[in-house]
Structure 1
Amino acid sequence: QDEKRINHDALPEKPILQLTHQTKWVVFYNSVAQARHEVVRLRVSSSTVEVQDASGKVIPSQTNLVWTAAQDSSTTEYELVFIVNVPPLGLSKYLIRDAGSEVNNPYNAPSQITLYNTGSPDSSVRGVFHISRPISDNRDFTIENSRLRAKFSGTTGLSVSVTTVKDGKETAMSVEFLMYGTRETKKDKSGAYLFLPDGEAKTLDTNGKAVIRVIRGKILSEVHVLMKHVEHVITLHRSPGIDGWSLEISNIVDIRDQRNRELCMRLKTDVKNSNEFFSDLNGFQMQRRKTLSKLPLQANYYPMSTMAYLQDQDTRMTIHTAQSLGVGSLQEGWLEVMLDRRLNQDDNRGLQQGLLDNKRTPNQFRLLLERRHQRTSSPNGGSRQTGVDYPSLTSHSVSQLLNHPVYAFIRNKLPGEGPAGDVKLSGSVQPLVKALPCDIHFVNLRTVQAMDSPAPTQESVLLLHRKGFDCSFPANGLSCSTSGGKVQLEDLFRDLDLTDIKATSLSLMYDGQVLNSKATLQLDPMEINAYRIRLD
C-alpha cells in the first residue's frame, strides 16, 4: 500500500513502516519498460535506520523530520529517503531495520535543518537532528547537486535562479504566487467555465514573515516556504538517475477563506521566447502558442495536461505537471500556472453553482532546464513554418517520473506472524528480457474478452507508443538508448513464448500483417501500434 486516505476528501498519507531490530522488506514496482534508478521516500517509526538491497548490502540513506506545524515535528514518524534500482516492468526488494543506538552506521545520516523567520535565533537538538535558527540577514542561499545549483531569496525563500553546473550558465528562475480577482460587472463573471479576471494578478505578499525551512542532506535537499495560502517546497535530488536533472516543486494550496479569487504560480525567466511557448495536447503532442497583446488576458491561457515550455536558441525551460491545469505566458520569459480557483457565482454555462467546494489541494511539478548542443536558427528555438516541436528524451523521462511513479508496497508483519509469515520473496522480478528503447512507451498489455462470454480469451493485446523527440538536446540521466523505432519480439517477455502474432488497429477491428516470434516491430514516431498476441 503506497498511500491511504482517512476520508474521501483528505490528502493522501503514506503508511508508517513500524521498524524493529529485525529487517522488514519493502517492494518497489516500476510500471514503465525502462529501468529506474531514483530517489524514493518512505515513512518509518525510527530516525536511525539501516537499508539493505536484496543481496544484503547496506546502501546510503537519509532520514528527515516529518513536520506537523511550522516549527513542530512528529516524534513517532520520520521520513526515510534512499535510492532504488528497479528493472523495467519489474519489482525490487529492499530490507529495512531500526539501527537503534548503533554508532557505527555511516550509511544513514540525518538531514541538517535551518529555520528562518521563527523569531527565536538559537539552535536546538531534536533527537539525531540539529536545528539552527540564525538571525536572518536576507542573504541569498543555495542548494545544489552535481548537475544543478538553485539560488533562493533570503527574504522570501522563493527561487531566484538555476545554474547548470556543467557549463556554469545561470538562468533567472524566480517564483511568484499571485491572485486574480473577478471583474465587477453585472454581466458574466468568472465561474466554473469562464475566466474573466479584473485585471493583472496581484502578488501574494508575505511581508517577509513566511517561515522558511532549509533542509540539507546527502541524498536530497529541500527549501520549504510556509505562506498563508501556499505551502511551497522545492526539492533537489542527489541521484544518478533522471530525477537528479530537474527541480521538484510541490505546492499545497488552501484558499477556502477567499472570495472570488484565483491563485497562480508564475515563473519569471530570462529566456527570450519572443512571446511564444508550447503546451501539450492531451499528453500526446506539443502545440505552439502565441501570446497576442490585442487579446484579453484570458484568451492567452491554454490547457496543460503534462507539460509546457519556453525556449530560445540556446535554452529550454520546461514545467512538467502531475495534474491538468491552465497555463499562460503573458510576457516574454514568463510562464504561469493556475493552481486553484474559488468563485462565488455561477457563470451561466450549465453548472448552476459557484466553485465553493475547495479543499487543501496538492500540486506537483518538475522544472527542467536544458541547454541545446545544436544551436537553432529560429529566434524562439522552434519551427516557425509548421508550429511543430517536440520534448527531448530527457523531458519525456521526467514526465514519466510524475505520471508513472515507482510504487512502494510495505509489510508491517514480522516473519512468523500471521498466515503470511512464511512468505519468501526473491530479490527482484524482471519480466522483460531487456529494456525497451528510451522513446518506446509500453502503453498496455491486456486480455481480449470473448464475444460470447464475459470470460477473457487466451489472446492478449500489446500497445506500444513511439514518442517523437528533439535531438538538439543531450539525453541526460538515461540508462537506455534508442533503436530507430525497432523492437525485437524475442527481447520482450522472459520465459514466455509469443505465438499467433498479428498487427491490428487500435479498435482491434481490422487485423493486418501476421508476424512470427522472431520478427522485428517497426514503429514510426508519434504513432501507437497495436498487436494481437498469445502468451504461452
Structure 2
Amino acid sequence: NDLFLFILLNIVFLPATSAIGESCHATKPNMLNVHLVPHTHDDVGWLKTVDQYYYGDRNDIQHAGVQYILDSVVDQLLKNPDRRFIYVETAFFYRWWKQQSSSMQQTVKQLVNEGRLEFVNGGWCMSDEATTHYSAVIDQMTMGLRFLNETFGPCGRPRVAWHIDPFGHAREHASMFAQMGYDGFFFGRLDYQDRARRMIDKEQELLWRASDSLTPPMADLFTGILPNGYNPPQGFCWDQSCDDPPIRDDPDLEDYNVDDVVNRFLTIASAQAAVYKTNHIIMTMGSDFQYENANLWYKNLDKLIHYVNAQQANGIKVNVLYSTPSCYLQELHRANLTWSLKTDDFFPYADDAHDFWTGYFTSRPALKRYERISNSNLQVTCNQLEVLGGPVSRNGHFGEGDSQTMMKAMAVAQHHDAVSGTEKQHVANDYARRLANGWQHCQVVVSNSLAALSGSSAQRIYCDNLNISVCPLTESSKKFSVNVYNPLARPVTWPVRLPVNGTAYTVSDAKGKAVDCQVSVVPVSRATQEVRRNWGFAVNELVFQVQAPPLGYSTYSVSLVKDGPPPTSTKYNASDGNNSQSDQPSGAYIFRPNSSTPFIISQTAKTETVQNSVVQEVRQWFAPWVSQVVRLYADSRALELEWTVGPLPIDDSLGKEVITRLDTSIKTSEIFYTDSNGREVLQRKKDFRPTWHLKQSEPIAGNYYPINSRAFIKDDVDQLTVVTDRSQGGGSIHNGSLEIMLHRRLLYDDVRGVGEPLNETSNIFPEGLVVRGRLLLSLDPPPTAADTHRPLAQEMVLQPLLTFTDGNLNPHTQLEVSEEGENDRFSGLQAALPPAVHLLTLTQWDKDSVLLRLEHQFQSWESKVNSQPVTINLQKLFSTLEVLGMSELNLSANQWKDEMIRFDWKPQTGTGHTHTYSVNLMTIWPTVLQITFILDYMYKLFPTDF
C-alpha cells in the first residue's frame, strides 16, 4: 500500500481549530448563491524572473509587481469588512511579510484571523503536476505551509488546494493533497472534450479517489473545476490591465450602465448554474498579477453585489456575496449530495482539437535533469548529512553551512512554469542559477559532515561534470580518494566512471587494503570528447563498481600504476503551423508533429564496442548530432542507454523533436503504463480516456503522457520497463513499442503566452544545446518486475554522491591515516530498511528537531513479496540518533494527525469509510496508514561504525 511515514522532533503546533465557518458570509437556501472570489495568480517566474515579478521590474516584458498587489489588497480589505481575498504563493508572501513593520504584521494577522484574507494551497509555489517528482512537491508544500503555520497559526492553514494554472492534473498530486489534510481541490484546466461532457452531466464537481492502495477516504479528494479557468466572466474584469467598462451608476449621467451590467451578470450566472449541481456557483474575480490597484476591483465588486442583490426585491432569486474557496466548499458539503467518482488522472490536456499540451513533458530537458540532480543533492547533502553529522555540519571546519538556499531554490523550481520548461530563456537561466547557488551552499554542509563523520579534514573536491568525463582532479592526480555517499536506506552497488589519463590503476580502501572489485580503463568516446569540447583533457575513463552501506558512505583510494596518453533514435519534424487541419505549431507547451510517421535519422550507425570484466558497451553514431551508448555492467539488473542529442539541425527551417523508440514482441493490446509523479503507476490505453468517449485528432501528441521516473509495457510473459533520469514525455504508439521524447528544438512560438520559440542555445553551444541523459532498461516477468524497477527508479532519483580528495595535498588525508584514524565506512542506520520501505526524507527541522519521512513504496497489487506489511523499530533505526519519544503528524507536518479532520464526501459509486489502526510507541506498520511522528532524540557524539 502507499504510505508515507513522518517523524518530527520537538516541534510545537497550535491546536488545529478553524474559524472558517464563522468568517463566511451568510447564504440564502432558496436562491442561487454566487460566490465571488477575489484573487491574483502570481507566477513564481514565467516571462520575468521571480525577483523581477516581485519588485515590478522589466515591465517592458510584462506589467507585474507582486509587492504592490499585496500592499494594495491589504489597504482595500481594511476599508470594508465584507471584502475577501485569497492568496496562494507563499514564496512571494514570505518576501513581502519580511519587509513589513510590526504594526502592519499585526494588521495582517487580524485580517487572517477574521477570514478576510485567506491562504489557499499554501505551498512555496503552485507546482507543476506533469514534470515534478513527488518528493520535491512534498518539500515545497511543507516549506510554505510551515511558514504559514508558524506565522498565523491555525487560521492561516489552507483548507483548499488551488491549482488553477497547471496544464493537466496528476493523480498523485490529489493523493498528496488529501494526505495533507485539504478538504478540497480546485483547478481550471482540463481537456476540452472532458469539460464538454462534464457540463452536460453536471459532473464538473466530483470525488477523486487518488490511490488504488490507500483505504478510502484517505486519498479521496473533492475536486471542483472552475467555470472560467481562473479568469472572471467575460465583461467583468475591472483591473488596470483590463478593458471592460466600469459600473457607471450615476443615473444623471448619459453613460449609466447598471441595468446592462445586472442583466448581463444574471444571464451569465444562470448559464453557469445550469451546468453545476447545487444552488451555489463560484466565480474567480481576478487573473494574472491583478489587484496592483485593488481599488479598481473592489469598488466595482461592491457595486455589483449591491445592484444585483437589490433585484431580490423584484423577485430575482440570485444572491451575490464576497466569498473564498473554503466558504464555497463548505456550502457544497452542507448540500449532502453524492458525487461522481474518478480514479484516473487529467492527462493529457488539450484546449482544442489539434492543441495537445504534451510538448512540455520534455521541454528544456537539460533544466529538467538539473532540477532532478538538485533534488538529489538537497536530500543527500543539506538534509541527510546535516542530520547525521550533527551540529558541526552547519558550522564546522569548512565554514558555515546553509540548507535554506537550496531548499528555496528547489521549491521555486517546482513552479508550473519552471521545471515544466514553459518559461522564457532568461527565466530558465535564473532557475538554473538559483540551483547552482544552492548547491554551493550545500557543499559546505557536506564537507563539514563528512569531516565530522570520517575524522578527516582534507579538502573535498566536487566534480559536477562527470557525465561528460570532466574532473580536473582525477585527470591530473596520481593518487586520490573517492568518497561514495549512498542516500538510500539499503546498500547499493554503483558503477563509477572517472576521467583519467593513465592506463592502469589500483583501487583500495582508505587503509590501503585492496578492495574486492574489478577495475578497468576504457577510452573516452568520441561523442564525449565532442560534447565536453575544451573543458577536459582525459583520454580514458576509469571504471569500477563501488558498494556503499545504507544511509552512509564508503571510501576508496585510487592510485596510478601505469601512465600513458540498442534501439535507433528517430525524430519528428515539428509542425510549423501550415497544414489543412490547423495552423497550430509545436512550441514549449504544444507537441504537434507534421506527420504521424517519424523520420528515421539513420538506418545504419557507425559502431564500436568496448568489452572487459567490468562493462560491455556498444557505441553508436547515427548522425553528427545523435549518438548513444548501450552499456551493461557486470552483475547489473538493467541495460543502460546513454543518449547524446544536439545541436539539433535547423538548416531546413524545421524544428525537431527527437525520440528513442523501443520495439519488442510484447503483446500490449495498445496498453502501457506510466508513473504519476514518480509514485504510483497508472494504466494508459491508446486513443482512450476512461471517463469519456475520445474523438482523437492528434494520433501522436494525443497519446503522449508524462513519465517522471518510469514507464513499461507488458504481457503475460514479459515486462519491459524504462527508467528515466528526468521527467520526459512518452507513449506507446504501436503495439509492443515504447517511445521516449529526448530533446526538442522549435522555431515557432505556440501562442500560449511565452512569446518566444523553444530554441535553446548557450555560450558553450551557440549553435544549439546538446543534451545527454540515461535510460535504464529491464526485462522481467511481470509478477516480479516491480521488485526490480522500483529500486532502479530510486537509484536514479537519489544517486550516490561522489566527493574527492587529492592524496598529494595533505599527509593527513584519508589515504595516509593510521589504522585507528579514518572511518572509511559509515552507515547512519543500525541496519538496512526492508526493500518495501523507502526513506524519503531525513532533514533538520530546528535546533533539536528532525523530520523523517518513511514510505511503503509498493502499490497493493505490485509484488507478492514486497506489497506486504512491514514492521520497523524506530528506536533501533539510527546509528547517530537515539530516539526517545514520538507523536504523529500529517503528510505536510503542519497538523497533529489526531486533530486532522476533513470533510466526508459521498461517492455515487464505491465506498467511503475511515480506517482504524494501532501503533506501538516505537514500531510502525507502513502499509496500515500514513503516519507522522514527532520524536524526541539525543545525538550520539560518536557514530557507530558500520
Q: TM-score, normalised by structure 2?
A: 0.42
Q: 1:165 — aligned with what? A: none
Name the amino acid aligned to 2:677. Answer: N
Question: What is the aligned residue count?
Answer: 429
Q: Please state whether the residue corresponding to 1:396 is helix, strand or coil.
A: helix
Cα-to-partner distance string for 1:95-117 (whole Å, 9 max, x where unaligned): 1111238xxxxxxxxxxxxxxxx
Q: 2:850 aligns with which of 432, 445, 460?
A: 460
The 2-side partners of 1:70 and 1:307 are apart by 26
Greater CA drift, 49-58 or 224-233: 49-58
Q: 2:641 — aligned with what? A: 249
Q: Please state whether the residue corresponding to 1:279 is helix, strand or coil.
A: strand
Residue 470 (structure 1) shift: 7.3
Instruction: Output aligned runs, 1:203-282, within 5 Å.
Output: 203-206=599-602, 208=604, 210-228=605-623, 229-239=625-635, 244-258=636-650, 259-282=654-677
**1:49 maps onto 2:499 in alignment:** no
Name the amino acid aligned to 1:65. Answer: P
The 1-side partners of 2:747 and 2:666 are apart by 37
Q: 1:534 — aligned with what? A: 936
Q: 1:291 — aligned with what? A: 686
Q: Please state whether the residue corresponding to 1:299 is helix, strand or coil.
A: helix
Residue 355 (structure 1) shift: 0.9
The alpha-carbon distance between structure 1 residues 304 and 472, as it changes in their structure 2 partners (threshold 3 A), is closer
Q: Please state whether the residue corresponding to 2:523 is helix, strand or coil.
A: strand
Q: 1:371 — aligned with what? A: 781
Cα-to-partner distance string for 1:422-473 (whole Å, 9 max, x where unaligned): 875312011110001111111112222xxxxxxx331221111111247776
Q: Please state whether the residue corresponding to 2:681 is helix, strand or coil.
A: strand
The alpha-carbon distance between structure 1 residues 468 and 370, as it changes in their structure 2 partners (threshold 3 A), is same
Name the amino acid aligned to 1:436. Answer: L
Cα-to-partner distance string for 1:297-334 (whole Å, 9 max, x where unaligned): 21111111111110111111111101111111111101
Q: 1:192 — aligned with what? A: 588
Instruction: Output aligned runs, 1:98-113, within 5 Å.
Output: 98-100=560-562
Q: 2:520 — aligned with what? A: 62
Residue 275 (structure 1) shift: 0.1
The 2-side partners of 1:421 and 1:404 are apart by 27
Instruction: Output aligned runs, 1:43-442, within 5 Å.
Output: 43-54=499-510, 56-59=513-516, 60-68=518-526, 76-100=538-562, 159=566, 174-182=567-575, 183-185=577-579, 187-206=583-602, 208=604, 210-228=605-623, 229-239=625-635, 244-258=636-650, 259-292=654-687, 295=696, 296-297=698-699, 298-358=701-761, 359-372=769-782, 392-414=786-808, 416=810, 425-442=822-839
For the 8 Å contact 2:629–2:643, the answer to whether it is kept is yes
* Greater relative contact order (CA < 8 Å, ≥ 6 in sequence): 2
For the 8 Å contact 1:392–1:470, the answer to whether it is kept is no
The 2-side partners of 1:245 and 1:265 are apart by 21
For the 8 Å contact 1:463–1:531, the answer to whether it is kept is no
The 1-side partners of 2:813 and 2:613 are apart by 39
Q: Please state whether the residue corresponding to 1:352 is helix, strand or coil.
A: coil
The alpha-carbon distance between structure 1 residues 421 and 427, as it changes in their structure 2 partners (threshold 3 A), is closer
Q: 2:254 — aligned with what? A: none
Residue 37 (structure 1) shift: 2.0
The 1-side partners of 2:628 and 2:847 are apart by 50
Q: CA RMSD in A?
A: 3.3
Q: Please state whether the residue corresponding to 1:99 is helix, strand or coil.
A: strand
The alpha-carbon distance between structure 1 residues 69 and 319, as it changes in their structure 2 partners (threshold 3 A), is closer
The 1-side partners of 2:642 and 2:842 are apart by 32
The alpha-carbon distance between structure 1 residues 415 and 426, as it changes in their structure 2 partners (threshold 3 A), is farther
The alpha-carbon distance between structure 1 residues 11 and 372, as it changes in their structure 2 partners (threshold 3 A), is closer
Q: Please state whether the residue corresponding to 1:497 is helix, strand or coil.
A: strand
The 1-side partners of 2:619 and 2:793 are apart by 23
Instruction: Output aligned runs, 1:471-510, within 5 Å.
Output: 484-510=869-895
Unmatched runs of 5 consecutive residues or more in structure 1: 102-126, 129-158, 160-173, 375-390, 449-455, 476-480
Cα-to-partner distance string for 1:397-434 (whole Å, 9 max, x where unaligned): 11122111122111124263699998753120111100
Unmatched runs of 5 consecutive residues or more in structure 2: 1-460, 689-694, 762-768, 900-917, 939-946
Residue 532 (structure 1) shift: 1.6
Name the amino acid aligned to 2:525. Answer: W
Q: 1:523 aligns with which of 915, 919, 926?
A: 926
Name the amino acid aligned to 2:514. Answer: K
Q: TM-score, normalised by structure 1?
A: 0.72
The alpha-carbon distance between structure 1 residues 286 and 233, as it changes in their structure 2 partners (threshold 3 A), is same
Residue 46 (structure 1) shift: 1.5
The 1-side partners of 2:783 and 2:663 are apart by 24
- Identity, in percent, stands at 24
Residue 283 (structure 1) shift: 0.6
For the 8 Å contact 1:85–1:92, the answer to whether it is kept is yes
The 2-side partners of 1:279 and 1:419 are apart by 46
The 1-side partners of 2:841 and 2:861 are apart by 27
Q: Please state whether the residue corresponding to 2:795 is helix, strand or coil.
A: helix
The 1-side partners of 2:815 and 2:615 are apart by 34
The 1-side partners of 2:493 and 2:832 are apart by 13
For the 8 Å contact 2:868–2:927, the answer to whether it is kept is no
The 1-side partners of 2:528 and 2:853 are apart by 47
The alpha-carbon distance between structure 1 residues 418 and 238, as it changes in their structure 2 partners (threshold 3 A), is closer
Residue 236 (structure 1) shift: 0.3
Q: 2:842 aligns with which of 441, 445, 452?
A: 445
The 1-side partners of 2:483 and 2:631 are apart by 24
The 1-side partners of 2:807 and 2:777 are apart by 39
For the 8 Å contact 1:16–1:42, the answer to whether it is kept is no
Name the amino acid aligned to 2:464. Answer: K
Residue 83 (structure 1) shift: 1.6
For the 8 Å contact 2:481–2:815, the answer to whether it is kept is no
The 1-side partners of 2:755 and 2:469 are apart by 30
Which portions of structure 1, spanning 4 or more consecutive aligned residues, are displaced by more than 6 angstroms?
Answer: 70-75, 418-423, 470-475, 513-518
Name the amino acid aligned to 1:457. Answer: K
Bigger strand fraction = 1
For the 8 Å contact 1:24–1:95, the answer to whether it is kept is yes
The alpha-carbon distance between structure 1 residues 248 and 473, as it changes in their structure 2 partners (threshold 3 A), is farther
For the 8 Å contact 2:724–2:796, the answer to whether it is kept is yes
Name the amino acid aligned to 1:187. Answer: D
Name the amino acid aligned to 1:291. Answer: K
The 1-side partners of 2:853 and 2:488 are apart by 13
For the 8 Å contact 2:569–2:626, the answer to whether it is kept is no
The alpha-carbon distance between structure 1 residues 202 and 472, as it changes in their structure 2 partners (threshold 3 A), is closer
Between Structure 1 and Structure 2, whose CA radius of gyration is higher?
2
Bigger helix fraction = 2
The alpha-carbon distance between structure 1 residues 482 and 437, as it changes in their structure 2 partners (threshold 3 A), is farther
Name the amino acid aligned to 2:734. Answer: Q
The 1-side partners of 2:524 and 2:864 are apart by 37
